[in-house]
């Protein structure tokens, strides 16, 4: 990754290695709280991975040991009006971009994932947590509620009962409990977090890239449709995959007992 590419980011750092983009929020003095610079950086990063042929998987994490993202900048929330929220940059459309982008995105959650940080992790495809991770949506204690998809994604992932207790009662979930509830896929020691996320990324990179993209989109569709419509969408995507070069390569490689060499075609 060239220095010129990393200079566009004000609050994040970007490292590209072996097809994996490591995007790290770097505001440890503020427990990596999200501000307007972060919104701009996230949009720039999503533009970059959409245009890059190098990036196959992205990993989002936070600098330091205490926080992944400990929510939004409360000063910004305190002064924001409803009209400003509708007109100015906000987190929710960014999280929709994360959720719908073509490549898988892994959240490597180190420490506090509160408010917008938890909402960002929920928008990622896979969440892996360090043992000291904690998850919460404490906005109701500020007289508001989660406004970047927390009321929508958490009940879909963990169930309505869990979402109500976390949002209405302000319950904080520790890493192991979040795993039990299906919010995170694995809990590992902090010093092994990025290695674990990288291992998952590399396993995904060994799969057919077109299949990964379509599988991500079809799974997302299941949350918004009835099963009949979802199964139809699944069938259409499967038809597309049957006509790809990757399908031919994957099946040939299996029969020839060799690793596949996918090209994304």
50 and 75 fall within a common domain = yes
Q: pLDDT tens for residues 4-32?
A: 344 479 999 999 999 999 999 999 888 99
- Classify residue 265: in a domain, yes or no: no
Between CA 4 and CA 227 the distance in angstroms is 47
Q: For residue 9, give both structure tokens.
A: 């980011």
Between CA 157 and CA 219 the distance in angstroms is 12
197 and 232 fall within a common domain = no
- Classify residue 118: in a domain, yes or no: yes
Q: For residue 138, give both structure tokens.
A: 């404490």
Helix axis angle, 91-100 to 116-123, nearest 10°:
20
Between CA 256 and CA 34 the distance in angstroms is 50
184 and 219 fall within a common domain = no
166 and 249 fall within a common domain = no
Distance in angstroms between the alpha carbons of the first and the last residue of the chain: 26
39 and 158 fall within a common domain = yes
Total number of domains constituting the chain: 2
| pLDDT band (50, 70, 90) for residue 71 | confident
- The last residue of a domain, from among 205, 220, 241: 205
* Residues involved in catalysis: 119, 139
Q: For residue 38, give both structure tokens.
A: 């972060």
Q: 53 burial class (0-12, 13-18, 19+ CB within 10 angstroms)? A: exposed
Strand boundaries in the chain, DSSP class E: 12-17, 20-25, 57-62, 67-69, 105-109, 112-114, 126-130, 134-136, 173-174, 186-188
129 and 194 fall within a common domain = yes
Identify the CATH number of the domain in which residue 109 sits: 3.90.226.10
Between CA 168 and CA 171 the distance in angstroms is 8
- Structural domain boundaries enclosing 225: 209-255
Q: pLDDT tens for residues 156-189?
A: 999 999 999 999 999 999 999 999 999 999 999 9
Q: Lowest mean pLDDT of 4-18, 113-127, 174-188, 213-227, name the range.
A: 4-18
**Closest CA relative to residue 126, chosen from 207, 209, 197, 218:** 197
* pTM (predicted TM-score): 0.90
201 and 213 fall within a common domain = no
Report the mean per-residue pLDDT for the chain.
90
- The last residue of a domain, from among 205, 220, 240: 205
């Amino acid at each position: 990754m060239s220095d010129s590419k990393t200079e566009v980011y004000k609050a994040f750092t970007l490292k590209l290695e072996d097809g994996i983009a490591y995007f790290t929020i770097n505001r440890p003095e503020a427990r990596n709280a999200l501000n307007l610079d972060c919104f701009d950086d996230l949009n720039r990063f999503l533009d970059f991975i959409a245009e890059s042929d190098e990036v196959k998987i992205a990993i989002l994490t936070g600098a330091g040991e205490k926080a992944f993202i400990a929510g939004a900048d409360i000063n910004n929330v305190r002064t924001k009006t409803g009209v400003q929220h509708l007109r100015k940059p906000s987190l929710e459309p960014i999280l929709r971009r994360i959720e719908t982008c073509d490549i898988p995105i892994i959240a490597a959650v180190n420490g506090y994932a509160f408010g917008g940080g938890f909402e960002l992790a929920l928008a990622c495809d896979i969440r892996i947590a360090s043992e000291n991770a904690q998850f919460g949506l404490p906005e109701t204690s500020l007289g508001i509620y989660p406004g970047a998809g927390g009321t929508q994604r958490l009940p879909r992932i963990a169930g309505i009962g869990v979402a109500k207790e976390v949002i209405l009662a302000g319950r904080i979930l520790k890493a192991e409990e979040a795993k039990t509830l299906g919010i995170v896929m694995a809990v590992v020691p902090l010093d092994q977090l990025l290695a674990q996320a990288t291992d998952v990324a590399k396993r995904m990179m060994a799969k057919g890239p077109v299949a990964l993209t379509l599988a991500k989109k079809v799974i997302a569709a299941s949350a918004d449709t009835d099963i009949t419509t979802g199964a139809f969408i699944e069938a259409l995507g499967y038809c597309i995959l049957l006509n790809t070069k990757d399908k031919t390569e994957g099946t040939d490689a299996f029969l020839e007992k060799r690793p596949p060499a996918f090209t994304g075609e």
